[in-house]
Amino acid sequence: MVYLIGAGPGDPGLITVKGLEFIKQCDTIIYDRLGTYQLLEMVKPDCRRIYVGKQAGSHYKKQPEINEILVEEGRKGDMVVRLKGGDPFVFGRGGEEVTALLEAGIPFQVIPGITSAVAVPEVCGIPVTHRGTSRSFHVITGHKRADIHRSDEGGLDDYDYIRNQEGTSVFLMGLNRLPQIMERLVQTGAEEHTPVAVISKGTMPGQRIVRGDIQTIADKVNEAKVESPAIIVVGENAALDFTAPNRGPLQNVHVGLVGTPKLREKMRVAIDALGGQSYSIVDMSVEQTEEKNRLRVALEHIEDYSWLAFTSQNTITLFFKWLREWNIDVRKLAHLKLAVVGAGTRDALKVEGYIADYVPDEYTTSALARGLANVMNDGEKLLLPRAVQGSETMLDILDQGGVAYEEIPVYDVVGRRMESIQYLNDLDVITFVSASGVRGFLDVLDAEKKNCGVAHMLNDIDSCGDHTDSTDGSFKIHDIMKNIRIAALGNVTEKALEKVGYHADIVPEVGDIEHLISAIGDYYFREKRQ
């Protein structure tokens, strides 16, 4: 079965519930360039991805080739999703794909999507219909035709039709031909002072709107350097502005997320509550190390330890998972005193049925180390399972305090690019919640550099060039983030950024997710008031 699914105008939250369910279940996904990046995060890990997107000036796959791919994949008997920006049947060539499937006898289902022709003007406060100004709206392709004065059917062209209608005209895919479209509207009787709005990257990072009239809009768009995809709205309604005021301090702010799925979801909910939009750009996956076998040996001799400390929620999750796998009786831990680095780890420990004996006032590994040096008695020993990238400063403080401990690096955190990294250049702020997140982000960018995949995101990089291990030259982190604010969860993360030559703009006083997002909201609230 092949499912033709409309992805909507770009914001992943605007896909239908039904469409999202099929995306989560599919075996193969065939997707376009526009409005689909974040939705790819929802597919199964073993889902096959086939990119058939088109870009101005070049075609990765032509439409007949796409049709052939759909037929070929549909014959395999797997669950196939054809994900298309907007709605499949609104200038999406969905009809051609359905025809190919019908001729091949392959079962299919079309799941509608929200068309950009309505949604994009709407998010910018422009209704396509409104009592007193527009009783109808018309959606028109802006693609160039050989003879602009004739329709493909030989009758009146779209512009002659518009002249005889009342309502709003919405042109899709017409940015490159904006002057010609405006000229043709005047030729067919439109008033030069008719309002026009051009909306770029609607519902996506980098959304912009330029307003004018038929006479002035082309010059204004050129001056503003508006980029595609863009839609053109013509008519009295284009002058309306029904945007909702005071939607929160993060209204129109696009936030890039670096972290594990659990942390990203927690941040996403908090960002949404403040009116912002979030995009997962780097996934930090937790990978266990061979050193975990040392932990198993330590647990077999757990009576040698008096304290057990956790510096991350990941460690807690893995620790108790392995206890169950190794069939270790939790009652063997009864004599231990438990220490955690902050509120998040404290709550994660509580979920496992344990109450922390010590939580530092300042939620940092350095504060945890200083606190343990003060509360631990002579002769007591600390068991410290943690990440490979754990703070060396913490160990130095423990050494200086005369604390006996065994440190075991039980997991590593590895960065993986996510499709939404394509939006990188349009983000307003990027969040980092750990030093490993900083490292993972840089590793992903370095890999993008090798593959030339990041070159189009940079304004000042003309070509990929030869790769070097150094961060010097044209590929410093600031080449990517020169116009992006940085939010760091705490001092450790802040110092990790400083080591690569970058300054965190936003650092909360308390190192947890709630305070981080709140600090981002406060930052943009102050910025908007200035």
Query: Mean pLDDT across the stretch 124-142?
Result: 93
- Residue 54 has a pLDDT of 62
**DSSP type of residue 176:** G
Higher per-residue confidence, 321 vs 163: 321
Stated as kind and residue range, the H or E segment containing 518 is helix 513-529
**Per mean pLDDT, which range of 52-66, 377-391, 426-440 is the poorest?**
52-66
Question: pLDDT of 226-247, one tens digit each?
Answer: 998 899 999 999 999 998 776 7
Please choose, from the candidates 61, 15, 10, 4, the residue with its C-alpha nearest in 3D space to the C-alpha of residue 36: 10
Determine which one of 87, 173, 376, 481 is catalytic: 173
Query: Mean pLDDT across the stretch 142-150?
Result: 55
Measured distance CA(329)–CA(322) in Å, rounded: 11
Question: pLDDT of 35-89, one tens digit each?
Answer: 567 888 889 989 999 988 765 444 567 899 999 999 999 999 999 999 999 999 9
Measured distance CA(286)–CA(273) in Å, rounded: 28
Specify whether 173 is catalytic: yes
Left if phi > 0, otherwise alpha if psi is -120 to 50, otherwise beta: which for 405?
Answer: beta
Measured distance CA(463)–CA(460) in Å, rounded: 9
In the predicted model, is pLDDT for residue 453 greater than 70?
no
Determine which one of 1, 27, 42, 54 is catalytic: 54
Q: Which residues, other chains included, contact 141 with Cβ-Cβ below 8 Å and sequence gap of 6+?
A: 91, 158, 171, 172, 173, 174
- Rg of the Cα atoms in the chain: 28
Question: pLDDT of 80-121, one tens digit each?
Answer: 999 999 999 999 899 999 999 999 999 999 999 999 999 999
**Per mean pLDDT, which range of 58-62, 175-179, 199-203, 460-464 is the poorest?**
460-464
Q: How confident is the model at residue 249 (pLDDT cuts 50, 70, 90)?
A: very high
Structural domains of the chain ordered from first start: 2-114 (3.40.1010.10), 118-239 (3.30.950.10), 254-285+415-529 (3.40.50.10090), 287-413 (3.40.50.10090)
Question: pLDDT of 490-502, one tens digit each?
Answer: 888 898 899 888 8
Collapsing DSSP states into helix, strand and coil, what is residue 318? Answer: helix
Please choose, from the candidates 469, 465, 415, 421, the residue with its C-alpha nearest in 3D space to the C-alpha of residue 444: 415
Q: How confident is the model at residue 164 (pLDDT cuts 50, 70, 90)?
A: low
Helices (H), ranges, 251-375: 261-273, 292-300, 313-325, 343-351, 365-375
Q: What is the mean pLDDT of the chain?
A: 87
Determine which one of 32, 87, 213, 426 is catalytic: 32
Measured distance CA(88)–CA(101) in Å, rounded: 14
